[in-house]
Amino acid sequence: MNSTITEKILAAHCGKKVVEPGEFIEPKIDIALSNDVTAPLAIKEFRKSGAKNVFDKNKIALVMDHFTPNKDILSAEHVKFVREFAKEQKIKHYFEGGNCGVEHAILPEKGIVLPGDVVIGADSHTCTYGALGAFSTGGGSTDVAAAMATGKVWFKVPNSLRFVLAGKLNKWVSGKDIILYIIGSIGVDGALYNAMEFTGPLCKKLTMADRFTIANMAIEAGGKNGIFTPDEITEKYVSKIAQRKYKFYMSDKNAKYLKTLEIDCGKILPQVAMPFLPSNTKAVKDTKRTYIDQAVIGSCTNGRIEDLRIAATIIKKGKKVNSNVRTLVIPATPAVYSQALAEGLLKIFADAGAIISAPTCGPCLGGHMGILASGEKCISTTNRNFVGRMGHVESQVFLANPAVVAASAIKGYIATPDEI
């Protein structure tokens, strides 16, 4: 039987030659992860199960990223609870404080998640690691509790949708625009419980940063996972950081797909997702002048060094952010922060009047570090713009790439970089 990359990875982790869409399986996992929001519940469920020890202390990752540094007493208590569990269980991959970054950026960066892995996380954007050629998906805290106890996870094999990416990218267009365009085309349920497999000639030219962004937002189309075929670019990224062996998988030529969609990315212009869905997209040039109160550059979607470099290029050109716009720059990990500091990017942001934060999820989920008041509008490089996502239910969030967000911060309204 000819199989997709998703099916091959899952079959290998089930000890089978093949698995088929719709089949219920119980694959072994390589990494189970959780954060300061979801880990406390997972740990409580782990205790309720009667388990005494995690299945493998080297295959659990606990990242205290959502409310770091602790924003209030409750978040401090959550972190303390998880920290004590991590010490008790001798968890190898525990991140807090100065070594903590946004989980979906720091785990690939440190070679903890790798090509060919099966990864389950109590966070919907766990699908990010598909950029490496891994099967990674989000689940509930109880799913992760079971995974921590047994080393396995239970779910149904998804059908696969194939997205063939072709064409030459236009100026200022990035992976963020590609995935926003796709979500806008198929809708927030267009890939419901399907594997979104990205292939085609353009994929071979996409940077790892662009691939992470695209895979990260597969969930915004309802996808079970997003995945790329690993290649030379993947190998260059993982070869120096991998903490263990990894394996490249690829789909068979005659693998069966639920549907194949061909995307001419040469037709894509810088995109913006209007409130209140990631699918409510249009080209920035087609939007009416929309004034903003806040601009956010960061998150697990676009907080990598490549994103900060692009934003800094625009900010440097404009020199100062608009006095009416709170501009937040949030490097996704300590390593990104250090690199941005070494390259002088943070000075560019600071001199322009932006606020520079320690690595955190912060405002993305309305946690802290940039909560919106009633009526305020924010343009952000994050991944969701639901009602009340970043604060008050009468606030609005617009999603775009780092170049557009930087340009908007300067102009004071949603703008393209060419307007600077």
Mean pLDDT per 10-residue segment, the chain (420 residues): 95 97 98 97 96 97 95 95 98 96 97 98 97 97 96 97 97 98 97 97 97 98 98 96 95 96 97 97 95 98 98 93 97 98 98 97 93 98 96 97 98 95
Do residue 277 and residue 229 come from a single domain? no
Tell me: cis bond preceding 67? Omega within 30 of 0 counts: no
CB environment 12-43: b (16+ within 10 A), e (fewer): bbbeeeebebeeebebbbbbbbbbbbbbbbbb
- Specify whether the CB–CB gap between 239 and 334 falls below 8 A: no
Of 213, 231, 263, which residue constitutes the final position of a domain? 263
3-state secondary structure of 399: strand
CB atoms within 10 A of CB 168: 11
Instruction: Report the distance separating Cα 277 and Cα 369, nearest Å.
Output: 22
Do residue 44 and residue 178 come from a single domain? yes
Do residue 224 and residue 301 come from a single domain? no
Do residue 227 and residue 85 come from a single domain? yes
Instruction: Report the distance separating Cα 56 and Cα 90, nearest Å.
Output: 10
Return the structure tokens found at 95: 């991140």
Q: Which of 376, 259, 335 is nearest to 95 (CA)?
A: 335
Give the pLDDT confidence score for residue 95 in this predicted structure.
Answer: 98
Cβ neighbours of residue 87 under 8 Å, at least 6 residues apart? none
Q: Which of 359, 407, 365 is nearest to 383 (CA)?
A: 365
Kindly report the CATH number assigned to the domain that includes residue 328.
3.30.499.10
- Specify whether the CB–CB gap between 182 and 220 falls below 8 A: no
Do residue 234 and residue 374 come from a single domain? no
Return the structure tokens found at 281: 């997209």
- For 255, which DSSP code? -
- Domain span at residue 51 reads 5-263
Of 210, 242, 263, which residue constitutes the final position of a domain? 263
Do residue 251 and residue 320 come from a single domain? no
Of 263, 288, 305, which residue constitutes the final position of a domain? 263
Give the pLDDT confidence score for residue 298 in this predicted structure.
Answer: 97
Do residue 162 and residue 232 come from a single domain? yes
Cβ neighbours of residue 147 under 8 Å, at least 6 residues apart? 29, 32, 55, 120, 139, 153
Q: Is the pTM of this model over 0.75?
A: yes
Residue/partner pairs of 69-77 with CB below 8 Å, 24 or more apart: 69/97, 69/358, 69/360, 71/367, 71/368, 75/36
- Residue 328 has φ and ψ, to the nearest 5°, of -110, 130
- Specify whether the CB–CB gap between 166 and 261 falls below 8 A: no
Do residue 92 and residue 156 come from a single domain? yes
Q: How far apart are the first and last CA of the chain?
A: 54
- Amino acid at position 189, single letter: D
What is the tally of structural domains in the chain?
2
Give the pLDDT confidence score for residue 20 in this predicted structure.
Answer: 96
3-state secondary structure of 281: strand
Q: CA 65 → CA 171, 346, 392, 417, distances in Å?
A: 33, 21, 22, 31
Give the pLDDT confidence score for residue 243 in this predicted structure.
Answer: 86
Give the pLDDT confidence score for residue 304 in this predicted structure.
Answer: 98
Q: Which of 362, 353, 290, 373 is nearest to 331 (CA)?
A: 362
- Amino acid at position 56, single letter: D
- For 373, which DSSP code? P
Do residue 89 and residue 215 come from a single domain? yes
Do residue 220 and residue 356 come from a single domain? no
Do residue 204 and residue 313 come from a single domain? no
Do residue 236 and residue 302 come from a single domain? no
Give strand pairing partners of 398. Answer: 379
H helical segments located in 50-121? 73-89, 103-109
